[in-house]
């Protein structure tokens, strides 16, 4: 249904005008844009022109300070967000710290935040409706095509966020911005009256197909080639793929790789002999122990094989922390990688040469297209390297253009891949590597140098507190035992000091009473510890 709205033309930006109109009507709006920086810029543009209700001012100030202090040290991003929030406006994208994201979402639901400028994150999964949805950008950059129209399905996702029945909205409004008549026509044809594109089967992606094949064999759901084929013939993918023979070729190729990689055995039953067809029917499939573990870990077999070959190569290399970081960075799971900017190209290339004797993955030649991706992996590894050397979030943002939210995602991935590597190393008997991998894993988790590892084993001690202790010559468990309680208290607070003393076996009974008396929120883990 279309209708005509009259909106005051106060400024040159349509989005801004529509948002101000929305506020005048005491409603909320979501603005969808196509990049993170756009989301931030749009939010700032709007927040600069918003006049907030006096009644909300205090609440918004409080919220702004919460947003600002979500991290140890506020980054530039935190400051920008906090400033917007003071006006009841926010931006929302995957680079936000999860805590900030939650704050924004909750306070939009409650009605305190009026406008959110967001990338498509918000349209998926999360149920965050608004009276008005403004789809600012209908085009988005994607290589290699450059700027292209977003899928109709996505457009519908955006518009589906319009209307808040819980706020007594009887309807919602979804708006697009067209600069010209021809553009307007295009939008109508494409999105309003256009047909949604076909839903692609997820199996179409080869890594997923590979993972499925192995999993079917590993769970013994399919123990012959025939039963495997039969399964896939019934899938949506086959239905959509149309050509069953081609699908069969792909699966055959996958089976061949899985065998080469040592994840399955293909048992040809020659007894039936002469008739070719019958023979194929009897081809048995069986997962090796290694293959079973790969499947359990939910790894793409290709990645599993890559990790194994890297680790086998470790003996011939000068092993460094960086070796493992680069190994992780070069997996398909880690993509998209950090982009190497024009200005950085030489520097990254230089680093690549510097580390070449420690690199576990195969270095592509400079003339292969793959080389670009290799350099990106190098930059991503350098990012991880900074992280485990205690570089703070602000610097990571400036140096690598990686925001806190993105850091978390990358670290989660790295952790999962390292755990998997550890498990694989056990199976292929590379026991020498396990310790090194475990160490790197711990360092990635905390973002700390190796010297802090003994301290990080304590509960309630992260990299900040550990560094503080270390600077005061408290470097390991023994030092904690010897340390004076008052010094510890001075460094990390009474609660934590008592907690770690208790963890080294010193039960300070008298203090225990005090602990209970000085009970504060957020210290539940310590209380629990005391009661054990």
Partner DNA sequence: GGCAGTTCTATATAGACAGCATGTC
Partner DNA sequence: CTATATAGAACTGCC
Considering beta carbons, is residue 309 or 401 the nearer one to DNA? Answer: 401
In the complex, least distance from residue 137 CB atom to DNA, rounded to whole angstroms: 7
Considering beta carbons, is residue 27 or 136 the nearer one to DNA? Answer: 136
Considering beta carbons, is residue 312 or 467 the nearer one to DNA? Answer: 467
In the complex, least distance from residue 175 CB atom to DNA, rounded to whole angstroms: 16
Considering beta carbons, is residue 95 or 129 the nearer one to DNA? Answer: 95
Considering beta carbons, is residue 229 or 337 the nearer one to DNA? Answer: 337
E strand intervals along 237-393: 264-267, 284-287
In the complex, least distance from residue 381 CB atom to DNA, rounded to whole angstroms: 17
In the complex, least distance from residue 120 CB atom to DNA, rounded to whole angstroms: 4
Tokens read off for 311:
């680790």
Cα–Cα distances in angstroms (integers) from residue 310 to residues 197, 203, 365, 421, 524, in the given order: 41, 27, 18, 10, 43
In the complex, least distance from residue 320 CB atom to DNA, rounded to whole angstroms: 22
Considering beta carbons, is residue 343 or 431 the nearer one to DNA? Answer: 343
In the complex, least distance from residue 26 CB atom to DNA, rounded to whole angstroms: 26
In the complex, least distance from residue 225 CB atom to DNA, rounded to whole angstroms: 26
E strand intervals along 218-306: 264-267, 284-287
User: How many whole angstroms separate alpha carbon 81 and alpha carbon 69?
Assistant: 11
In the complex, least distance from residue 282 CB atom to DNA, rounded to whole angstroms: 33
Positions touching DNA (CB under 7 A) are 34-38, 40-42, 45, 72, 93-95, 119-121, 124-125, 137, 139-148, 154, 296-298, 300, 333, 336, 339, 341-343, 401, 406, 409, 412-413, 415-416, 419-420, 446, 458-466, 522, 525
Q: Which residue has the tokens 């022109």?
A: 49
CB 270 within 8 A of CB 281: no
Considering beta carbons, is residue 188 or 416 the nearer one to DNA? Answer: 416
Q: Which residues contact 317 (CB under 8 A, 6 or more apart)?
A: 323, 357, 358, 359, 360
Considering beta carbons, is residue 229 or 294 the nearer one to DNA? Answer: 294
- Residue from 79, 93, 111, 89 nearest 44 by CA: 89
Local structure of 117: helix, strand or coil: strand
User: How many whole angstroms separate alpha carbon 102 and alpha carbon 81?
Assistant: 13
- Residue from 13, 230, 366 nearest 221 by CA: 230
Q: What are phi and psi of 203, to 5 degrees?
A: -65, -15
User: How many whole angstroms separate alpha carbon 211 and alpha carbon 450?
Assistant: 35
């Amino acid at each position: 249904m279309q209708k005509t709205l009259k909106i005051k033309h106060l400024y040159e930006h349509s989005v801004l005008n529509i948002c101000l109109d929305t506020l005048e009507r005491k409603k909320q709006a979501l603005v969808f844009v196509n990049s993170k920086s756009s989301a931030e810029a749009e939010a700032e543009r709007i927040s600069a022109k918003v006049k907030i209700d006096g009644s909300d001012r205090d609440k918004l100030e409080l919220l702004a300070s919460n947003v600002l202090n979500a991290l140890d040290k506020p980054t530039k991003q935190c400051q920008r967000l906090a400033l917007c929030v003071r006006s009841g406006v926010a931006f929302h994208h995957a680079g936000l710290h999860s805590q900030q994201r939650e704050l924004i979402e909750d306070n939009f639901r409650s009605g305190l935040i009026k406008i959110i400028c967001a990338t498509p994150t918000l349209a998926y999964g999360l149920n965050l409706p608004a009276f008005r949805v403004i789809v600012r950008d209908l085009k988005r950059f994607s290589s290699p095509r450059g700027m292209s129209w977003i899928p109709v399905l996505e457009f519908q996702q955006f518009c589906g966020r319009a209307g808040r029945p819980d706020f007594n909205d009887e309807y919602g409004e979804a708006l697009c911005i067209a600069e010209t008549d021809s553009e307007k026509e295009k939008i109508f044809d494409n999105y309003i009256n256009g047909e949604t594109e076909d839903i692609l089967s997820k199996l179409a992606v080869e890594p997923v197909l590979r993972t499925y094949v192995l999993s079917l064999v590993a769970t013994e759901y399919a123990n012959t080639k025939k039963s495997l084929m039969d399964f896939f013939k019934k899938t949506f993918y086959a239905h959509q793929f149309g050509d069953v023979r081609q699908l069969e070729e792909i699966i055959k190729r996958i089976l061949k790789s899985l065998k080469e990689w040592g994840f399955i055995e293909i048992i040809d039953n020659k007894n039936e002999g002469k008739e070719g067809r019958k023979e194929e029917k009897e081809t048995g499939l069986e997962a090796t122990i290694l293959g079973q573990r790969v499947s359990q870990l939910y790894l793409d077999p290709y990645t599993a094989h890559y990790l194994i070959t890297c680790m086998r190569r470790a003996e011939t290399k000068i092993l460094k922390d960086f070796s493992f970081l680069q190994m992780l960075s070069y997996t398909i799971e880690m993509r998209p990688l950090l982009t190497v900017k024009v200005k950085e190209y030489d520097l990254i290339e230089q680093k690549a040469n510097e580390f070449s004797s420690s690199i576990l993955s195969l270095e592509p030649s400079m003339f292969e297209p793959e080389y670009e991706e290799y350099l990106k992996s190098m930059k991503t590894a350098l990012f991880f390297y900074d992280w485990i050397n205690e570089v703070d979030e602000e610097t990571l943002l400036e140096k690598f253009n990686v925001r806190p939210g993105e850091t978390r995602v990358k670290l989660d991935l790295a952790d999962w891949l390292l755990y998997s590597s550890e498990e694989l190393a056990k199976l292929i008997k590379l026991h020498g590597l396990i310790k090194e991998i475990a160490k790197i894993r711990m360092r990635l988790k905390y973002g700390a140098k190796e010297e802090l590892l003994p301290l990080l084993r304590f509960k309630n001690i992260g990299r900040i507190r550990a560094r503080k202790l270390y600077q005061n010559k408290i470097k390991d468990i023994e030092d904690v035992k010897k340390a004076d309680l008052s010094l510890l208290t001075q460094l990390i607070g009474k609660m934590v000091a008592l907690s770690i003393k208790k963890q080294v076996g010193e039960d300070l009974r008298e203090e225990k009473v005090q602990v209970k008396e000085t009970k504060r929120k957020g210290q539940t883990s310590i209380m629990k510890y005391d009661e054990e």
